Amino acid sequence: MTSNSIIIKECILVESYQWEAIHLNDPTYDGEFYYALKSTGTFCRPSCPSRTPNKKNVQIYYDAKEALNDGYRACKRCQPDILNWKGSRYELVKQVETYILQHYDEKLTLNHISTALSINSHHLHRTFKLVTGSTPLQFSHQVRIEKAKELLTTSSLSATHISFKVGYSSLSHFSKVFKDKEHISPSSFRNHIYRNSSKQ
């Protein structure tokens, strides 16, 4: 199929963040949108290493199938037609998880994480949930509670001390999250561990 047989739709405005992603070959938005080139009849991912196209030839798509249906060929370099391509979505999730694992004892909000990683907060939240099924903050609670369980098991630190050590600003918040996830209070968890160890 040649570029003469593609379907030229009414121009969809190229948003500033999309054009910047295309210009910088930024993988952050891979899978979020695609850009087709009317001049070549091909379509690409934002991260495609090809040279920056002429903006007037760019047509935006949010679904690779739609671009294919309109007659555009998939770029051979970035292969946007590979439906099970993991790409930067999984890299983004890995970045977020690594950051949380390294900073779980600090104040963590979506804005803190997105600013630290230079990623749009809405994109970060949406992508993380799409890939993992949970939000970044839910993951941070999971990490904190696992760290807390470790300290409750291996140390004599008070629950209050542990709550601060794993990143919570109050014992009440820590206790609530702990009980929501473990269905037991921190003190009861520790007593259960002690009782089991004393029986051995």
Phi/psi for 59 (5° steps) reads -125, 130
> Residue 106 domain-assigned?
yes
Is 107 inside any structural domain? yes
CATH assignment of the domain containing 148: 1.10.10.60
pLDDT in the model for residue 3: 45
* pLDDT beneath 70: ranges in the chain: 1-12, 83-88, 197-200
Q: Quick check: is 8 in a domain?
A: no
Structural domain boundaries, residue 148: 86-199
Contacts with 172 (C-beta within 8 Å, 6 or more apart), sequence order:
none
Catalytic center residues: 44
Judgement on whether residues 95 and 189 belong to the same structural domain of the protein: yes
**pLDDT score, position 85:** 52
Give me the number of domains the chain comprises: 2
CATH number where 54 lies: 3.40.10.10
pLDDT value of residue 43: 96
102 alpha carbon, distance to own chain's centre: 16
67 assigned to some structural domain: yes
Residues 70 and 161 occupy one common structural domain:
no
Same domain, 35 and 118: no
* Pairing, β 42-44 against β 73-74: parallel
Domain shared by 69 and 91, yes or no: no
Span 78-95, pLDDT tens digits: 888 875 555 567 778 888
| pLDDT at site 111 | 94
- Is residue 98 domain-resident? yes
Q: Is residue 99 part of a domain?
A: yes
Instruction: Output the pLDDT for position 181.
Output: 95
Tell whether 2 is covered by a domain: no
Tell me: do 121 and 189 sit in the same domain.
yes
pTM: 0.59
